[in-house]
Chains A and B, each alone.
Chain A
Amino acid sequence: MTDQAPAPIVTLTEAKKHFGPVRALDGVTLAIEPGDCIGLVGHNGAGKSTLVNLINGGISPSAGSIKFDQGDDALSAGVRSVFQELSLCPNLTVAENLRISHHELKGFGWRRPARAEIRASLDEIFPDHGIDADTEVDTLSIAERQMVEIAIAFAPRGTEARLVILDEPTSALDAGIAGQLIAHVKRFCADGGAVIFISHMLGEVFDVASRITVLKDGKIVAESLAEDFTREALVDAMGHVAAQEAETSGALQSFGPEVVRTPQGLAAREGEIVGLSGLAGHGQAAALAQLFLSRSSAWRSSKSPDVVFVAGDRQRDGVLPLWSILKNISISILKQGSRFGLVDTNVEANAASDWKARIGIRTEDTNNPVLSLSGGNQQKVLFARALASTAPIVVMDDPMRGVDIGTKQDAYSMLRSEAARGRTFLWYSTETEEACQCDRVFVFRNGVISAELTGADITEEKILEASFEMQQAS
């Protein structure tokens, strides 16, 4: 670093973050100086949100260091974040939400300055926004909430915003409003502020960013001035540069009649493995949950259900944490062999030991608690739960999340053989590689299907292309 250069607001040196065996961030060195506008891009699981959370103080690094030029923490250094999931208090008004993050506002006359401050900030970023500072947030539209959140991040709040992290800030905004935001970000950086801009709209990233940083597998794989990148080069850097040959095993296969068709356009035939792809949070999980719920009941249960569900978010959707492995496997097949409403423990035990062997759950005894297993083996339990049933359709919500490679290989071959027997799989995966193993792939963007790929068209490039908005933002 030379003496003339302005001191970086934040400096990361070989910052690493491990969650158990998962290396979310694997040594990142990055310095953000006043005036920088960094476009941060990367595919799912590349480590974007981990990096953001390290910088804003949400988590601390496992190794390496983070230094701020002012004060010891992100708050006093003037680091602000706008999160992907909205973090306003819906029961408070716009001005009151500013108060939550503005500790200086006190005493009985606080409302007037709060209103003035949020109004000024909104006016500056989004002229003609039409948002009243005294409306409650839950009466605003999603786009308006997003605007408020951005305005609060840029508002002075007693100190000064110096580095603002925008994580998919335009996802809820229409093109005009997004353009206003981009213009403001440019002004802000020209005046000596810094911004980290994350977006799946590559056009926007090229438009706004002075530098682009590409993350992959927890590392920075490319970093350069924005004008040095082409879109194609960017997509290449995010994906596997050496495009592997897709196995076109499914091309010649023939499938049975169509068994799934949703109003959204999602379709599957008997014996087919259908992939759902695209960036995380673009409506894939919701589409699958909707499909499952519409074809099962909260009142009736059947010995032979129509659909079963394999959860990927094990804690939220899958594992029953107080139970043994055996009970976790058998919950969906309790009605098999039950008499007088009592569970047939033989059927249960047989299914558990059968699937323990077939899917390779690493445990001595299926009566051990399910939480004694590693994440990958817990995932196998959830596979076993679904496959042990007789359901013809299996819905899978990103089941390979945080699973080791061995388990993945086991699961892939299991899926293939089950599909060959006539089962239909709908498989949402955040990993493009996995989507490439499917017979047909639907790519989601902003809650709708942006592409349907079949046969030789299922390639990483095509999926990435359909996941990112390639047009110019404004």
Chain B
Amino acid sequence: MNTLSRYRIILPVVSLVVLLAATFWMQPRAMSYFGLNLLFNLAVPIALATMAQMMIIMVNDIDLSLGAFVSLVACITATYLLDTPVLGLAMLVALILAYAAMGAMIHALELPAIVVTLGMSFVWGGFALFILPSPGGASPDWLRALMTVKPPFAPMAVVASILIAVVTHLLIIRSALGTVLRGVGGNTRSVARAGWSVLKLKACAYGLAGFFGVLAGMALVGLTTSADANIALRYTLLSIAGVILGGGEFVGGKVSPVGAVIGALTLTLAASFLSFLRLSPDWQIGAQGAILILVLTARLIFSRKGAET
């Protein structure tokens, strides 16, 4: 085992630092409060969505409905939560419970998570269209104020990302419950043998994913001030990429919340960086795919080296 494979956080940190350095070198003006704010503007909802995806990957599943789910939350936030806050809040809570139920169902009936979540993406998307057939709505004022607050020293997006990383680290890595949840991904049988209900644990992981998905949708509306039914569809891919970039593994319960937040920041920054490069926006999506493949290649090489020594 070498250092790189032991401390899986190194690779994401290095990626972010290199990208950040390159951005500053290209565009020195970005090295300011305002510049950073611009660079990481959309990082908060992406980081939250990445956390949601991480909860699912942690228990060895994958969620292809997250983008549609975040869009639905955004639509509810921009309409019901604005007009009738109590009803809006109740709907969001119901969505979290629906996510938990989805996890319980996938486990109890041994359904393939890919197909179920792909189907659910249409259900969420359908509800979103139902609520907001055309782009519109507005952000509740308090949410808008929260997302555009200007804390001293560092811009909101950076402060919020650090906060998200700390909270989820405490929740998933430090807490007693998070440990058992990661255990489900690591060795389900041994967790079950120790007397835990895997059904409840899976429901809990999916419920957490729903909770962070709700936060992601709300944060997105706070930034964009309006919503539409397709607003966050690409979050499905972004969130998976963020988890993987952050050092998470697809199976085995190996996830790193701090790494995943860094992964989400890297993805956000990559988009800004590419526009500085005057690379046409055509390549934005492709660059994300290429980064994902590059990082996975790098990781494979390091883990091979680690296995040799």
Contacts and interface: CB of A to CB of B under 8 A. Distances in A.
Quick check: do A and B touch in the complex, using CB within 8 A? yes
Interface of A: 58, 75, 87-92, 96-97, 99-101, 103, 105-108, 110-111, 139
18 contacts: A58-B193, A88-B187, A89-B182, A89-B187, A90-B186, A90-B187, A90-B252, A91-B183, A91-B254, A92-B182, A92-B253, A100-B191, A101-B195, A105-B176, A106-B176, A107-B176, A110-B176, A139-B6
A87 B180 contact: no
Given A100-B190, A101-B194, A111-B174, A92 B252 contact: no
The interface residues of chain A, by DSSP majority, are classed as: loop
Contact of B179 (A58, A90, A99): A99
A149 to B, nearest CB: 10
B297 interface: no
Contacts of A106: 176
Contacts of A97: 183
B254 A96 contact: no
B1 interface: yes
Interface in B243-282: 252-254
Given A100-B191, A103-B195, A139-B1, A89 B176 contact: no
Interface in B158-199: 170, 174-176, 179-180, 182-183, 185-187, 189-191, 193-196
A89 B190 CA distance: 7
Given A89-B186, A89-B253, A91-B254, A100 B180 contact: yes
The interface residues of chain B, by DSSP majority, are classed as: helix
Nearest to B58: A91
Nearest to A149: B190
Contact of A100 (B6, B170, B175, B194): B194
A91 B252 contact: yes
Given A87-B189, A91-B182, A111-B174, 10 more contacts: A75-B195, A89-B182, A91-B252, A91-B253, A92-B179, A96-B179, A99-B176, A100-B179, A100-B196, A108-B174
Interface of B: 1, 6, 170, 174-176, 179-180, 182-183, 185-187, 189-191, 193-196, 252-254
A49 to B, nearest CB: 15
A139 B193 CA distance: 23
A87 B176 contact: no
Contacts of B183: 89, 91-92, 96-97, 100
A58 B193 CA distance: 8
Contacts of B190: 87-89, 100
Shortest 4 CB-CB contacts between residues of A and residues of B: A89-B186, A91-B186, A101-B194, A87-B190
Contacts of A89: 182-183, 186-187, 190-191, 253
A87 B183 CA distance: 11
Of A88, A96, A106, chain B has the most CB atoms within 10 Å of the CB of: A96
A92 B176 contact: no
B185 A91 contact: yes
A97 B194 CA distance: 11
B175 to A, nearest CB: 7
A111 to B, nearest CB: 7
A117 to B, nearest CB: 14
A139 B189 CA distance: 21
Nearest to A81: B193
Nearest to A140: B1
Contacts of A87: 187, 189-190, 193
A327 to B, nearest CB: 25
Nearest to B177: A106
Nearest to A109: B176
Contacts of B252: 90-91
Nearest to B251: A91
A97 B193 CA distance: 13
A106 B174 CA distance: 11
A50 B10 CA distance: 46
A108 B1 CA distance: 31
A75 B192 CA distance: 13
Of B175, B180, B194, B253, chain A has the most CB atoms within 10 Å of the CB of: B194
A432 to B, nearest CB: 32
A449 B279 CA distance: 63
Nearest to A57: B193
B205 to A, nearest CB: 14
Nearest to B1: A139
A92 B186 contact: yes
Contacts of A139: 1, 6
Contact of B180 (A58, A88, A99): A99
A108 B174 CA distance: 8
Nearest to B255: A91
Nearest to B184: A89
A121 to B, nearest CB: 16
Contacts of B170: 108
Contacts of A108: 170, 174-175
A107 B174 CA distance: 10
A302 B170 CA distance: 57
Of A87, A91, A99, chain B has the most CB atoms within 10 Å of the CB of: A91
A102 to B, nearest CB: 9
A58 B1 CA distance: 35
A256 B187 CA distance: 49
Nearest to B306: A139
A96 B170 CA distance: 14
Of B179, B183, B195, B254, chain A has the most CB atoms within 10 Å of the CB of: B179
Contacts of B191: 89, 100
A110 B252 CA distance: 23
B200 to A, nearest CB: 13
A96 B195 CA distance: 16
A97 B191 CA distance: 10
A110 B179 CA distance: 11
Nearest to B252: A91
B6 to A, nearest CB: 6
B171 to A, nearest CB: 11
B57 to A, nearest CB: 12
Contacts of A88: 187, 190
B305 to A, nearest CB: 15
Of A89, A90, A96, A108, chain B has the most CB atoms within 10 Å of the CB of: A89
A106 B190 CA distance: 19
